[in-house]
Amino acid sequence: MTTTPIGRRGFLKGALGIGALAATGSLAACAAPGGTGTQPSRLARPSASASAAKGEITIWNRSGDLFKVFDAAIAKFRQAYPNVTVNHQAVDIDAKLANTLISGTDVPDGSFWDDAKIGGQAEHLYDLTDLIAPYQDQTSPYKLSVNTVDGKIYGVPWDLDPGLLWYREDILESAGVDPAGLATYDDLLAAARTIKEKDPRTAPIHLEKTPFLSQLWLEMLANQQGTSLSDAQGRLRLDSAEYRRILTWIRGAVDDGLVTHAPYLEQADVNTLDNGQQVFVPWAIWWSFAPQQLLKKTKGKWRAAPLPAWTPGGARSGAMGGSSFIIPAKAKNPELAWLLYEFLCFKEPGYTAVYGPNDIYPGGLSTSIPSYRPALDPAKPLFRPIEALGGQDLWKVAVEAAETIPAAAPIPWWWAQSVDYLGNNVQRLMEGKMTPDQVISESAEKIQRNLIDRS
């Protein structure tokens, strides 16, 4: 169980990954894949043994608890590679990394970065395809797909953030609702109606009130169905049966009075979670932060299950956010940076040091799971059952859900800017002011005209 308090904003930056895009609202400086930049360099596997590897690397990470976790894990790397010096720096990556890559001045040898930004900066990064190849078949297809541009892999896949259905076990039991029966989103609506009939003050299903997070959540639900806002060539695919299905479900839940429309873990949200008004929260694994650190009255009463499927037998999870590691094309010691990231992501001492019990998280890091499948043994959890979830084995639930996450496409550079259109219109849908068709047609027209056609 997490015992070290984390600020909500700091937590979002660490666990959400792409959430930092909201602060900038723009990735205009990023070059689109296939642009006019130089051909990315292909990094080859280092030939030196661990004992022969020698040199110094500068590695950037975000400040906060995750920096401390990685710092401890890097100490394990130093034991395996005693002649490699790691200069581990806490940096405002969102403000500094993109401009540093473009200028080519004082670039780090490697950096933590949001999956959402990697595709748009491919020309400034090493092509890691050959290095990832030995691990490719055992890595989450989703994480590989969002790091792949034109068939080349530019990020070392780190975390996987599976979507889960968080629910109040005591309220479901009182209403006679079996969580095992929530197989589809129609089942979820039926359960919400049953709960509301038992207690009319409830508005059981959480809907997000901030445009950015509501669009990120929408993408999780789309990923469940094997789609995303754009395809691998950057073509918009919002006007589709999959998105229409999600938006129609949202509008139906709103019209039936089954939702609480509240901003993620701000006080209004916390209050309605604690007083029993909200009963279901379909969200990423990093919502586990709420019962561990924010919810007081209902700590121990929340549980996690796989998301419902959109169609019978469909995927029971989708990814929501995420980050990877990149090696700049102008890094001084890229081979040594690769050895570090290989150790952290693909070697047992490394990923155990990151996710297992440590001084920062005595029960282990439970706000994401590794994207490397050999690390995802249900019988060998990297983090412990969580007291704030009534002792539930969240590791097992998350690992099983992650197995169903479909592959996706690189996240386009204009994704954050599209929130001005799609994210805002999703809010209007949740307020009952737009129809699903209006959201799709208006958002698609503006994204195409103002973002894609101008890129």
pLDDT of residue 54: 94
Percent of the chain with pLDDT over 70: 91
Q: What average pLDDT does this structure show over 125-142?
A: 96
- Tell me the one-letter amino acid at 20: A
pLDDT of residue 44: 81
HSE-up of residue 387 (Cα within 13 Å, Cβ side): 8
Domains and CATH numbers, the chain: 8-161+321-376 (3.40.190.10), 163-318+412-452 (3.40.190.10)
What would the pLDDT profile of 374-390 be if each residue is shown by its tens digit?
Answer: 999 988 999 999 999 99
Cα torsion 106, 111, 114, 119: sign: positive
Whole-model pTM: value is 0.90
HSE-up of residue 341 (Cα within 13 Å, Cβ side): 33
CB 203 within 8 A of CB 196: yes
What would the pLDDT profile of 41-95 be if each residue is shown by its tens digit?
Answer: 888 877 767 778 999 999 999 999 999 999 999 999 999 999 999 999 999 999 9
CB 189 within 8 A of CB 329: no
- φ, ψ dihedrals at 31, nearest 5°: -90, 140
pLDDT of residue 25: 31
Q: Flag the least confident range among 13-17, 128-132, 242-246, 400-404.
A: 13-17
List the 163-168 sheet strands across, edge first: 259-262, 205-208, 280-284, 163-168, 302-306
Non-local (6+) Cβ contacts of 436 within 8 A are 244, 247, 248, 250, 251, 429
HSE-up of residue 413 (Cα within 13 Å, Cβ side): 21
What would the pLDDT profile of 31-51 be if each residue is shown by its tens digit?
Answer: 333 333 455 588 887 776 777
Residue with tokens 């129809």: 435
What would the pLDDT profile of 437-448 be if each residue is shown by its tens digit?
Answer: 999 999 999 999
